[in-house]
Amino acid sequence: MTVAPLSWDVAAGELVKARNDCRESLRTPGFTTVDTQREWFATLNRPDSKMWYWEFTDLVNKTDLEGPGYGAVFGVGGLTFDRFNRSAEISVLTFVRKKGYGLQIVDWLREEAFERQNMHKVWAEVYGCNPNYDAWRSLLRFTDGNVIKTYRPGQKYWDGEYWDSTIYDVINPAIPEY
């Protein structure tokens, strides 16, 4: 797998399409345009930035990809850092579903957060209206004793109703229990 900082070509193309195709999964469910994406992209991957995003390539057979212009990029992943509290939120969008690519992105992001950025925990909020809601627990490997699960009722309004969310926190396994 090749990992590189998110490029403008991917941010303005595949990522805009992917975000608009899965708005029920996002904290901000409005439509994404190239202009709004440009404003967001300008805040990424700088030394003083809280948000670092990468594109993931080279694992996908081009015949697996759907739609024109996808090339070999199979997804985007990011970490939003709270460096004071040593935590990072995981964000993942894959351009190909049900092939295990999301798990590869999540594994790389956990390694980045824990091993290279020295984070104490990573977390993700998953909304009940997300069609992949049940898959997130295994995708993020929230199965060991280092997991904190917080249920939050009525956290997102989508498609005429309020949906619950679950926040999954994973404590860095290298940190001894206190």
Write phi, then psi, for 149 (nearest 5 degrees): -115, 125
Mean pLDDT taken over the chain = 81
What is the per-residue pLDDT across 115-155, written as a single tens digit (0 to 9) for each? 999 999 999 888 887 877 777 766 666 555 556 777 787 78
- Look at residue 161 and tell me if it is in a domain: no
- Look at residue 154 and tell me if it is in a domain: no
**Helical packing angle, 34-41 and 14-21, nearest 10°:** 110
Q: Which CATH number goes with the domain that contains 21?
A: 3.40.630.30
Burial of 55 (0-12, 13-18, 19+ CB in 10 A): buried
What is the per-residue pLDDT across 89-109, written as a single tens digit (0 to 9) for each? 999 988 877 777 888 898 899
- Residue 173: pLDDT band by 50, 70, 90 thresholds? confident
Q: Which is it for the CA torsion 90, 167, 137, 98, positive or negative?
A: negative
- Look at residue 105 and tell me if it is in a domain: yes
- Look at residue 16 and tell me if it is in a domain: yes
Which tops the pLDDT comparison, 26 or 88?
88
What pTM value is reported for the model? Answer: 0.82
- Look at residue 74 and tell me if it is in a domain: yes
Write phi, then psi, for 118 (nearest 5 degrees): 60, 40
If one counts the domains in the chain, the total is 1
For residue 108, give its domain range.
2-122
End-to-end CA distance of the chain: 36
- Look at residue 67 and tell me if it is in a domain: yes
Which tops the pLDDT comparison, 86 or 151?
86
What is the per-residue pLDDT across 35-70, written as a single tens digit (0 to 9) for each? 988 998 999 998 889 999 999 986 445 555 554 344
- Look at residue 175 and tell me if it is in a domain: no
* 126: nearest Cα among 170, 169, 80, 165: 165
- Look at residue 15 and tell me if it is in a domain: yes
Looking at residue 177, its pLDDT comes to: 65
